[in-house]
A and B are shown apart, each in its own frame.
Chain A
Amino acid sequence: MQTMTGQPEAQVSLSAVEVQRIKADFEILEHQVNGTDVVYLDSGATSQKPRCVYEAEQHFYENANAAVHRGAHTLAVEATEIYEEARETVAKFIGARTNELVWTSNATEALNLISYSMSNASLGRGGEEAARFRIGPGDEILTTEIEHHANLIPWQELAFRTGATLRYVPVAEDGALRYDLLDELVTEKTKLVAFTHVSNVLGTITDTRRFVDAARKVGALTVLDGCQSVPHLPVDVKELDVDFMAFSGHKMLGPTGIGALYGREELLNAMPPFLTGGSMITVVDMEHAQFLPAPQRFEAGTQRIAQTHGLATAVSYLQEIGMDRIAQWEEHLGAMLYEGLSKIDGVRVFGPSDAPRIGTVPFEVLGVHPHDVGQYLDSRGIAVRVGHHCAQPLHRALGITATTRASTYLYNTEEDIKALIDALGTVREYFGV
């Protein structure tokens, strides 16, 4: 079927009817909060889960539960198959090869994995093969002022442990990244450039090409924080051309407790491990151990098998709808949010007006603290996030300590946005401002 513009239907954004159908897959969205239908606008913190995701976990426990990569019994074989199929599904989803996807407990652990692997390399672990991960005094790590603490503190700590220097790309007054300073900040000393794909506070999409080009020129490694992009946009790591990417399952309809690290195969296989123990070795004697190749090298101990199955089920759910269409719907909701909130008297929206964005918008209500704004909205069943959103440096750069943040996902309707805008019209009156 063709639309009026001649585009195949698959290229068209979701329709209101489809969104209602999607919403019906999320039991929790049918619940009432404070006597009214819940309006969930906090998917940036964690997404809701469709029935199929937790049913998949239940199915695993009822039919295939066993430890993976060990034991010869039938259940162990089935569990291992489910675990490795999940890896294949999620790897394909981001354009990676299966062996390039390491399971972690969340994105934070994925980023710490790189940080600690690099300190281990700097101590000589991994030998000559790991030489390119060594870092020390005189070397530089570059990050940005908009990062979530998870993509900042692991690099601060790596710098403390190794004597390297941490530098950052600052933001302009409106929160836009100062790309113009990249050429100056990325030098021969730069060993690693860590940056986010989408700001978890501002919702703005980074021009990753500029970071990757600058890093490539000097041979620096690139680490992308994909927590806010993988759930909302079509993401292909080979197209992005980054060396590493971290993302979390619970923000993309998956269970909590599962995340992943993508890394180029040749890099992962040259890196010394972070967590060590069972399941990641080949030969062990009382003095030494030899390690398996990636991804097993980074998956010590009993793994999160049901969670990987849940996440793969979430990915299949997203793929069936289509990431292009989800992205278009959320772009629409994001524009509605940004424009709608900007028009309310006494509401100030943060973030550059001209940057591409997902459906995430931070704002303040003049004279009312974000905590109070959030409480007022909650009394009307509207769930938003308040606080610094794990990005204190960005808030400081914007001259504030906290904001209120609305963030959408594929199950949000235009009515949800209208409900928020409507409620915000009466907040100041309630607090007597």
Chain B
Amino acid sequence: MNELDQLYQQVILDHSKRRIGSPLVEATAGHLHGESHQHNPICGDQIRVRVELNDEDHFESMSWEGEGCSISMASASVLSELLPELTKDEFLDKLEIFREMMRSKGNFEPDEEVLEDAAAFVGVSKFPARVKCAMLAWVAAEAAMLGANK
């Protein structure tokens, strides 16, 4: 696989079209929920992410709306699939692993058991200019979680 094909793996292209979790859905009344709007000033890409958590601090759902390149849209879709049922700490652990992978410049063996479809983004880490695209939804989800209230 050449570098471009590693970047645009089929699973990424598929997710960029399926856009799991989009559009935004209203949070259930009484549930812990939070929202975050993130911008990539370089290209004008933007995303609004909403997360909902239940009383046991488990994620119920993530929904989003956004505009951006296939990497940023696929990343939001993948995360929407990954997030439900995770605890806050489990999400933060995966975020740390994802971030480490993004900083690896391609030197990373992702564990698909842990990252699921997000493992496909390892190819992005070879393209420093695109790391921000991949991180956008994750950063938004983290900010939404940290700001969540009832």
How many residues of A sit at the interface, in one of the four size bands? Answer: 10 to 19
| From A369, A392, A431, contact of B68 by CB (8 A) | A369
| From B3, B45, B68, B69, contact of A379 by CB (8 A) | B3
| From B44, B67, B130, contact of A392 by CB (8 A) | B44
Q: Binary interface profile of B, 54-85, with partner A (CB < 8 Å = 1, else 0)? A: 00000000000001111100000000000000
A372 proximity list for chain B (CB < 8 A): 8, 69-71
B67 proximity list for chain A (CB < 8 A): 401
Check if B43 sits within 8 Å of A388, measured CB to CB: yes
| From B17, B44, B127, B133, contact of A388 by CB (8 A) | B44
Check if B2 sits within 8 Å of A402, measured CB to CB: no
For residue B146, CB closer than 8 A to chain A, the reply is no
For residue B29, CB closer than 8 A to chain A, the reply is no
* A316 and B141 alpha carbons, distance in the complex (Å): 54
Q: Nearest Cβ distance between residue A22 and chain B, in whole angstroms?
A: 29
For residue B92, CB closer than 8 A to chain A, the reply is no
Check if A371 sits within 8 Å of B69, measured CB to CB: yes
Q: A371-B133, A431-B70, A432-B13 are in contact. Are A402 and B43 (CB under 8 A)?
A: yes
* A392 and B3 alpha carbons, distance in the complex (Å): 31
| From B4, B42, B69, contact of A369 by CB (8 A) | B69
* A251 and B43 alpha carbons, distance in the complex (Å): 21
Within 8 A of A (CB), among B2-19: 2-4, 7-8, 13, 17
Give the residue name and chain of the A residue nearest to B2 (CB): A379
Q: Binary interface profile of A, 366-393, with partner B (CB < 8 Å = 1, else 0)? A: 0011111001100100000011100010
* A387 and B132 alpha carbons, distance in the complex (Å): 14
Check if A402 sits within 8 Å of B130, measured CB to CB: no
* A128 and B33 alpha carbons, distance in the complex (Å): 61
Q: A371-B133, A375-B127, A431-B8 are in contact. Are A395 and B44 (CB under 8 A)?
A: yes
Check if B4 sits within 8 Å of A431, measured CB to CB: no
Give the residue name and chain of the B residue nearest to A395 (CB): B44
Check if B68 sits within 8 Å of A371, measured CB to CB: yes
Q: A401-B67, A431-B13, A432-B13 are in contact. Are A376 and B4 (CB under 8 A)?
A: yes
The 7 closest A-B pairs by CB, nearest first: A371-B69, A369-B69, A379-B4, A387-B43, A401-B44, A388-B44, A372-B69
- Given A371-B130, A402-B43, A431-B13, 12 further pairs, Cβ under 8 A: A368-B70, A369-B69, A370-B43, A371-B43, A372-B69, A375-B8, A376-B4, A379-B2, A401-B67, A402-B45, A431-B8, A432-B17
Taking Cβ atoms with an 8 Å cutoff, the residues of B that contact A are 2-4, 7-8, 13, 17, 42-45, 67-71, 127, 130, 133
Taking Cβ atoms with an 8 Å cutoff, the residues of A that contact B are 34, 368-372, 375-376, 379, 386-388, 392, 395, 401-402, 430-432
CB pairs A–B below 8 angstroms (27 shown): A34-B3, A369-B69, A369-B70, A370-B43, A371-B71, A371-B130, A371-B133, A372-B8, A375-B8, A376-B4, A379-B3, A379-B4, A386-B43, A387-B43, A387-B44, A388-B43, A388-B44, A392-B44, A395-B44, A401-B45, A402-B43, A402-B44, A402-B45, A431-B8, A431-B13, A431-B70, A432-B17
